Amino acid sequence: MRLLIMGPPGAGKGTQAKAVADHFGVPAISTGDIFRANVGEGTPLGIEAKRYMDAGEYVPDEVTNNMVRDRIAEPDAKTGFLLDGYPRTLAQVTELDDMVEATGHRIDAVLCLTVDSEALISRLLKRAEIEGRADDNEEVIRRRQEVYVEETEPLIAVYAERGLVVSVDGMGEIADVQQRIFDALDSLPES
């Protein structure tokens, strides 16, 4: 199973990704986690990525594309993967298509978590407080929501035209959302 999980920042993608990946026996690959690890380690990628992350902007495509290409080429992703945080731009959709086609596969589904926008801001402010994430203040959070609407939301329409979008209500208790996701994905026809 080769899945994408999409939705605005704070929709619960990271929370649900691990359980969904475990359910299908594939690795959960989060570009945000990879970026934050590089920032924490002070790598050249981390230093470059931090400038964009601190401003609530996306890390440039060439950096992100190379990182994803390398990660999905690793042995644990041979039978599938769940990508969280990629693609985020139309150009990245094309890059991902090329990456996956090169392996002789295709994306099986795009899981889209839908949530109320004001609930997102509350979730992210609470997460920032709990996790001590400097990149999550209200101004940056609101900017990330705007960037999502401008640059990433249009991708859902692209994947919908391909018949790949599976929309799931991301509001409510984590276990309830998780069950809705499993029910929706388990009902997909075998590819």
Annotated catalytic residue, options 18, 36, 133, 143: 133
Question: Does residue 13 have an active-site annotation?
Answer: yes
Q: Which of 2, 50, 71, 144 is catalytic?
A: 144
Q: Which residue is catalytic, options 2, 50, 71, 88? A: 88
Q: Side by side, which strands form the sheet with 2-6? A: 28-30, 81-84, 2-6, 109-114, 165-169
CA–CA dist 128, 123 (Å, integer) = 9
- Catalytic-labelled residue, pool 2, 13, 71, 123: 13
Residue with tokens 């994905």: 185
133 in catalytic set: yes
Q: Is 51 a catalytic residue?
A: no
The CA distance from 81 to 53, in Å, is 24
Give yes or no: 143 in active site.
no
Two structure tokens written together for 71: 């990660």
Per DSSP, 133 falls in state -
Structure tokens at 30: 């989060």
Among 127, 142, 143, 180, the active-site one is 127
Which residues are identified as catalytic? Answer: 13, 88, 127, 133, 144
